[in-house]
């Protein structure tokens, strides 16, 4: 039996032993194999349909990098979406399921420490999740042959997907140690994942009134007196533009951008290396990952100090596709060059580490308190 003071004792042999036991059970399970096959077929079908639809909607000879980037972004988001659905099922019953089956007490009666049991189960769940991710890699690599996707971007994205799956497995493991019923731990894990994925952008939108203020802003605009009052009056010219100070509502998203940084989809998208701001803007029209990266970093920048209401009035669009635009004294708002994903990744790692700590503490021997109806052996 684990002695007092060895709760956090760790050895690779102990972790590997627990992980091997868990993985052997999964390999003997037909349900896990069927799920992996279904995953491969579904991801392949979505990738094939996406490629076919985009090629059909694109004129011949106009595919190129933009099409490859679009395929890459769609497939990555779909894989992450499915991963967030599958990963909780791999760990949310790892502890309370064994406790209900009477096999957890057998492990606790050995020389294995609680930390080795928890990390071994986490390693097994993560390995199973990585198997699903590995089944998706051929379809993610497909975008490389379409062009427009860097090898570094692909590697970074796959690595970030693996880390997100690790955190989700850790959260499920923590709830499986806290809750007696496997259904309860699964629901709590899904609620946590759903909160990070769906609730964070909702809260960001709902917080808009809280960060909206009335401010005096310098505006480069055409004076009201320059506009014609009758049909015989001349149209204003760009030379009549001048500075005015107007009171208007300003939304300070630089105060709430961190809500978006907690989102797993934002973390994966922002971690993609795209180069300078101009490249992000060019890719944003075709790459969903780049579009999210550009939007989140722009939200971190906040509103501009000055606005230009004049240049758009005198912009000319020619038949040959060229655009003539007068010079503007207002500098264009550039998105922040500071990455957002380290903040979100740091939060996820803290959440995952906290879940592991909770699970280890719940497996300490002797157990001081147990939930009502909990089976010991």
pLDDT for 3: 46
pLDDT for 371: 57
| 61 vs 254 pLDDT, higher one | 254
Beta bridge partners of 215: 248
Cα 313 from chain centre = 39
In this structure, of 77-81, 261-265, 269-273, 309-313, the range with the lowest mean pLDDT score is 309-313
Joined tokens for residue 140:
């993610």
Side-chain-side CA neighbours of residue 375 (13 Å): 14
In this structure, of 160-164, 193-197, 205-209, 240-244, the range with the lowest mean pLDDT score is 240-244
Tell me if 180 sits within 8 A of 148, measured CB to CB: no
Tell me if 296 sits within 8 A of 272, measured CB to CB: no
What would the pLDDT profile of 67-101 be if each residue is shown by its tens digit?
778 888 889 999 999 999 999 988 998 898 888 88
Joined tokens for residue 292:
């999210």
pTM of the full structure: 0.85
Joined tokens for residue 61:
């000879």
- The residues, ordered by sequence, that sit 6+ positions from 179 with a Cβ below 8 Å of its Cβ are 96, 185, 188, 371
- The residues, ordered by sequence, that sit 6+ positions from 122 with a Cβ below 8 Å of its Cβ are 91, 166, 169, 170, 173, 356
- pLDDT of 338 over the 90 cut: no
- pLDDT, mean of residues 312-333: 75
CB-based burial of residue 319 (10 Å sphere; 0-12 exposed, 13-18 middle, 19+ buried)? exposed
The span from the first CA to the last CA of the chain, in angstroms, equals 14
């Amino acid at each position: 039996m684990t002695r007092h003071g060895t709760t956090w004792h760790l050895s690779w042999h102990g972790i590997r032993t627990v992980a091997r036991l868990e993985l052997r059970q999964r390999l003997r399970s037909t349900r896990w194999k069927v799920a992996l096959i279904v995953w491969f077929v579904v991801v392949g079908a979505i990738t094939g349909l996406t490629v076919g639809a985009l090629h059909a909607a694109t004129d011949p000879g106009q595919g190129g990098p933009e099409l490859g980037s679009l395929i890459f972004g769609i497939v990555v988001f779909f894989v992450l979406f499915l991963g967030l659905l599958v990963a909780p099922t791999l760990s949310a019953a790892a502890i309370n399921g064994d406790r209900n089956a009477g096999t957890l007490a057998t492990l606790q009666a050995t020389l294995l420490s609680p930390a080795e049991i928890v990390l071994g189960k986490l390693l097994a769940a993560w390995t199973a999740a990585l198997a699903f991710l590995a089944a998706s890699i051929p379809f993610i690599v497909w975008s490389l042959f379409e062009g427009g996707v860097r090898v570094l971007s692909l590697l970074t994205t796959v690595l970030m997907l693996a880390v997100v799956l690790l955190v989700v497995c850790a959260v499920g493991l923590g709830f499986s140690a806290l809750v007696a019923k496997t259904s309860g731990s699964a629901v709590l894990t899904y609620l946590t994942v759903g909160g990070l994925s769906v609730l964070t952008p909702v809260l960001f939108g709902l917080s808009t009134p809280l960060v909206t203020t009335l401010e005096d802003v310098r505006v480069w605009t055409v004076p009201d007196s320059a506009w014609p009052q009758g049909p015989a009056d001349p149209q204003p010219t760009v030379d009549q533009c001048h500075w005015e100070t107007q009171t208007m509502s300003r939304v300070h998203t630089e105060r709430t951008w961190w809500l978006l940084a907690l989102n797993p989809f934002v973390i994966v998208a922002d971690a993609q290396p795209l180069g300078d701001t101009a490249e992000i803007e060019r890719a944003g029209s075709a790459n969903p990952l780049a579009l999210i990266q550009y939007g989140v970093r722009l939200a971190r920048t906040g509103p501009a100090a000055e606005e230009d209401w004049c240049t758009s009035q005198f912009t000319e669009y020619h038949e040959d596709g060229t655009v003539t635009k007068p010079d503007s004294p207002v500098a264009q708002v550039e998105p922040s060059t500071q990455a957002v994903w380290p903040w979100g990744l740091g939060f996820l790692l803290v959440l995952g580490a906290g879940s592991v700590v909770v699970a280890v503490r719940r497996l300490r021997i002797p157990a001081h308190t147990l939930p009502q109806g909990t089976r010991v052996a």
